[in-house]
Amino acid sequence: MSSHRPRIGVPVDCKLVGTDPSHVVGEKYLAAVAHAADSIPLVLPARAAGAELASLEPQISAHDQLADLDGLFLTGSPSNMEPWRYGSDAPGVGPFDPQRDANNLALLGAAMARDMPVFTVCRGFQELNVACGGTLHTAVQDVPGLSDHRDDHDAPRESRYAPAHPVILTEGGWMADLLGTREITVNSLHSQGIDQLGAALMAEGIAPDGLVEAVRHRDLSFVAGVQWHPEWRYGDNPVSMALFHAFGDACRVFRQRRLSGG
């Protein structure tokens, strides 16, 4: 029954829709949480002040947003993190979304403080690294030795999300054990990427150029992320299904513990 399914928070992007500042999240992310993780996605508004939004932070804390939830899922986005968030004075490459930056970093801190299951993809993966003290390449394609991982915005959607390169999974790692293989093939639609890995994170997968593509928290029960987009056509991809199933199962365990007062 739906009342027993985990409730997973999905924070929004803040962007213009036409001329209206809006809080939005891609439908494919909600679909993957609902169907592949067998959970109830609940959209979380940004709390930082925007063009037409007075800050909600005095009324709603990150802990308030997570109070009745069983997991946190951070999505990808067309925007990039502002470089100052990870200690860089580089100009970076926009568009930027400072409302999302502020909200998601606070939510990650609050979720990890309560050992809540967290799964992150693409931009969310980068946010997780920054929340754990790591840094990012502001433009992966400009770093000597690294490949161009960017999205071709002019290509058809099917082509944009097509398999792009292999990822070698860490031998004996959580993800290799979950998937039963040492190598998978993933899509690639990003310009930022992990530079220095956060101290609390372990690399679970590496691209051929050496870029970290998958991580897991060293100490917490389920805090993981991937640089690619497993939500894209999740039902046709055994790797995506395995990742979302594992996330949903972790959220079910957390929910049982939360409701029992454990």
| Interval 73-85: pLDDT, tens | 999 999 999 999 9
- CA–CA separation, 238 and 13 (whole Å): 28
Q: What phi and psi values does residue 253 have, to the nearest 5 degrees?
A: -65, -45
Residue at 136: amino acid letter:
L
Residues 85-110: pLDDT tens digits? 999 998 888 899 999 999 999 999 99
DSSP class per residue in 119-130: EEETHHHHHHHH
- CA–CA separation, 3 and 42 (whole Å): 14
Active site residue ranges: 122, 229, 231
pLDDT at 141: 84
pLDDT at 38: 98
Q: Which residues of the chain have pLDDT under 70?
A: 1-3
pLDDT at 3: 61
**3-28: string of b/e by CB count within 10 Å (b at 16+)?**
eebbbbbbbbbbbeeeeeeebebbeb
- CA–CA separation, 110 and 182 (whole Å): 33
pLDDT at 1: 39
